[in-house]
């Protein structure tokens, strides 16, 4: 099974996606997601210019060897662009191998460890009644676990929610794209106002929905360790499933302080891209859930190693799954999550109808649980004609500022 073609497809049905398409001499096509929200074209160039030429003529069965070749062979290690590009290759190779074996991919990863993957959806509201309505809407869609994000009095936006802010056209022209330069939307932030407001939100949500419903919350890297410790303590009465990214996680040691002060479970790592980023967190048992996505962590091969290491510490997978993970990346993590023992929960934000036209999927969502389906491979096909109808659109993630205009973590 030799690789004869490596094509990088950029499409923007509801948002931008980068997909690697590998074709083999025996007529199979495998796909992998390399989408890096807001920096998509960096991965495209990395794949097209530096990776695709190395793949031509290689044996597509040699997944681990290809991974090591791309990782060690580059000399320069880690980083979101490199690891997203390697992920796209890795997932496309697993897709090919599973198609060649005529098995759904989860069978090659050890077979199913459960009947389906518990998924959580996003609810948010500027005010409490809007939030309650949003939770009801998710429950009606079939979700059985909910991430709760709330507006904060005095702040303009509900922070950290996944809908991309529309690009703000600037005056200048982009040097290579010829179109007006896109500008990131600006949001505002006040940690003290947030810390005062949030416990009351969870108190009201628990009063409305009762003790059973698993509730999650994402702090989006905004607090200092001591602030995060206080928030974790304040939220203990409301029994959160997890508190996510309470501090900027690249400072792994910060989680020690948080951990010493609260029993609220902690989830970290959507912005990490290798297992090495978790060494202190795992060894010292500072977190409860690993947030890494297949797409941002070097693919199934590398994330599997990280999750197996996490399993030794009773730390479970809570893989990142907003809409910037494409249906291809999501399918990869559904197969992985079905197979591993230490699966915890899967984030699941539904894509729009246009995305579903471009990426045909076999996965199902029933009674709060996802399943990747039983077609050979990943179970996702990319419709190249549909993809071509939606060209790349420049877009940035928002940036965030304090009242005095200091840039803060978004
Ligand atoms: C989440 C995330 C996302 C990110 C997004 C950035 O937990 O779902 O925080 O919503 O903001 O992936 O691209
Ligand atoms: Mg998050």
| CB of residue 347 inside a 6 A radius of ligand 1 | yes
**CATH classification of the domain holding 354:** 3.20.20.120
Q: Which ligand is nearest to the CA of 395?
A: 1
Confidence label for 384 from pLDDT (cuts 50, 70 and 90): very high
Check whether 286 has a pLDDT greater than 90: yes
| 41, 394 Cβ separation under 8 angstroms | no
Write the pLDDT tens digit of every residue in 288-310: 999 999 999 999 999 999 999 99
Instruction: Decide if 57 is inside a domain.
Output: no
Predicted confidence at residue 182, as pLDDT, reads 82
DSSP 140-182: HHT-SSEEEEE--TT-SS-TT-SSPPPPEEEEEEPTTT-SEEE
| CB of residue 292 inside a 6 A radius of ligand 1 | no
DSSP 315-341: -EE----STTS-HHHHHHHHHHHHH-S
Atom of ligand 1 nearest to the CA of 244: 7
Helices 327-339, 299-311: axis angle to 10 degrees equals 40
Beta bridge partners of 396: none
User: Active-site residue 261, yes or no?
Assistant: no
Long-range contact list for 404-408, CB < 8 A, 24+ apart? 408/189, 408/222
**Segment 19-24 mean pLDDT:** 99
Predicted confidence at residue 158, as pLDDT, reads 80
Predicted confidence at residue 176, as pLDDT, reads 83
Cα distance from N-terminal residue to C-terminal residue, the chain: 44
**Segment 184-210 mean pLDDT:** 97
| CB of residue 160 inside a 6 A radius of ligand 1 | yes
402 C-alpha to center of ligand 1: Å?
20
Check whether 208 has a pLDDT greater than 90: yes
Three-class DSSP category at 4:
strand
What's the pTM?
A: 0.97
ipTM reported for the complex, 2 dp: 0.98
Write the pLDDT tens digit of every residue in 125-183: 999 999 999 999 999 999 999 999 999 999 988 876 755 555 566 678 888 888 788 88
Cα–Cα dist 215/170, whole Å: 39
Instruction: Decide if 347 is inside a domain.
Output: yes
Three-class DSSP category at 50:
helix
Instruction: Decide if 391 is inside a domain.
Output: no
Atom of ligand 1 nearest to the CA of 410: 11
What element of type H or E holds 130? helix 128-141
Instruction: Decide if 323 is inside a domain.
Output: yes
Cα–Cα dist 134/140, whole Å: 10
Instruction: Decide if 60 is inside a domain.
Output: no
Q: Mean pLDDT in the chain?
A: 96
Cα–Cα dist 215/345, whole Å: 12
Write the pLDDT tens digit of every residue in 38-90: 999 999 999 999 999 999 999 999 999 999 999 999 999 999 999 999 999 99
Predicted confidence at residue 165, as pLDDT, reads 52
Atom of ligand 1 nearest to the CA of 162: 10
Instruction: Decide if 409 is inside a domain.
Output: no
Predicted confidence at residue 181, as pLDDT, reads 82
Check whether 319 has a pLDDT greater than 70: yes
270 C-alpha to center of ligand 1: Å?
8
Q: Which ligand is nearest to the CA of 322?
A: 1
Beta bridge partners of 369: 118, 366
Predicted confidence at residue 179, as pLDDT, reads 79
How many distinct structural domains can be found in the chain? 1
| 299, 32 Cβ separation under 8 angstroms | yes
Q: Which of 161, 166, 82 is nearest to 393 (CA)?
A: 166
Cα–Cα dist 152/190, whole Å: 9
- For residue 329, the Cα-to-chain-centroid distance in whole angstroms is 9
List the alpha helices (DSSP H) in 180-298: 191-209, 225-235, 254-261, 279-283
| 283, 292 Cβ separation under 8 angstroms | no
Predicted confidence at residue 219, as pLDDT, reads 98
Cα–Cα dist 405/189, whole Å: 10
Instruction: Decide if 187 is inside a domain.
Output: yes
Q: Which ligand is nearest to the CA of 36?
A: 1
| CB of residue 270 inside a 6 A radius of ligand 1 | yes
| CB of residue 33 inside a 6 A radius of ligand 1 | no
User: Which of 122, 217, 220, 335 is an active site residue?
Assistant: 220
Instruction: Decide if 52 is inside a domain.
Output: no
User: Active-site residue 159, yes or no?
Assistant: yes
Sign of CA dihedral 237, 225, 246, 263: negative
Tell me the residue range of the domain where 255 lies: 108-169+183-374
| 410, 178 Cβ separation under 8 angstroms | no
């Amino acid at each position: 099974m030799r690789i004869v073609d490596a094509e990088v497809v950029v499409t923007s049905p509801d948002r931008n996606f980068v997909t690697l398409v590998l074709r083999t001499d025996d007529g199979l096509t495998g796909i992998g997601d390399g989408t890096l929200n807001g920096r998509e074209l960096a991965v495209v160039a990395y794949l097209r210019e530096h990776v695709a030429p190395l793949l031509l003529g290689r044996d597509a069965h040699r997944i681990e060897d290809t991974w090591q070749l791309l990782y060690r062979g580059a000399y320069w290690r880690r980083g979101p662009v490199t690891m997203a590009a390697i992920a796209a290759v890795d997932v496309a190779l697993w897709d090919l191998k599973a198609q060649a074996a005529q098995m759904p991919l989860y069978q090659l990863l050890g077979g199913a460890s459960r009947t389906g993957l518990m998924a959580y959806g996003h609810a948010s509201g500027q005010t409490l009644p809007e939030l309650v309505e949003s939770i009801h809407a998710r429950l009606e869609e079939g979700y059985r676990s909910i991430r709760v994000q709330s507006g904060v009095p005095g702040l303009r936006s509900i922070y950290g929610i996944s809908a991309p802010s529309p690009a703000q056209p600037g005056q200048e022209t982009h040097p290579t794209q010829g179109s007006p330069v896109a500008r990131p939307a600006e949001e505002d932030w006040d940690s003290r106002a947030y810390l005062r407001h949030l416990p009351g939100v969870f108190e009201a949500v628990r009063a409305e929905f009762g003790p059973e419903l698993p509730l999650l919350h994402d702090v989006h890297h905004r607090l200092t360790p001591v602030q995060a410790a206080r928030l974790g303590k304040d939220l203990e009465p409301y029994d959160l499933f997890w508190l996510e990214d309470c501090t900027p996680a690249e400072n792994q040691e910060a989680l020690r302080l948080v951990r010493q002060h609260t029993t609220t479970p902690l989830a970290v790592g959507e912005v990490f891209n290798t297992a090495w980023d978790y060494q202190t967190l795992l060894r010292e048992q500072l977190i409860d859930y690993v947030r890494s996505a297949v797409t941002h962590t070097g693919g199934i091969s590398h994330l599997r190693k990280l999750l197996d290491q996490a399993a030794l510490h009773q730390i479970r997978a809570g893989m990142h799954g907003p809409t910037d993970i494409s249906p291809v990346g999501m399918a990869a993590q559904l197969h992985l999550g079905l197979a591993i023992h230490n699966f915890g929960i899967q984030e699941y934000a539904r894509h729009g109808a246009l995305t579903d036209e471009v990426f045909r999927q076999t996965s199902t969502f029933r009674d709060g649980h996802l399943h990747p389906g039983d077609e050979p491979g990943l179970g996702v096909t990319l419709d190249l004609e549909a993809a071509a109808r939606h060209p790349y659109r420049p877009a940035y993630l928002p940036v965030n500022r304090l009242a005095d205009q200091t840039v803060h973590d978004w």
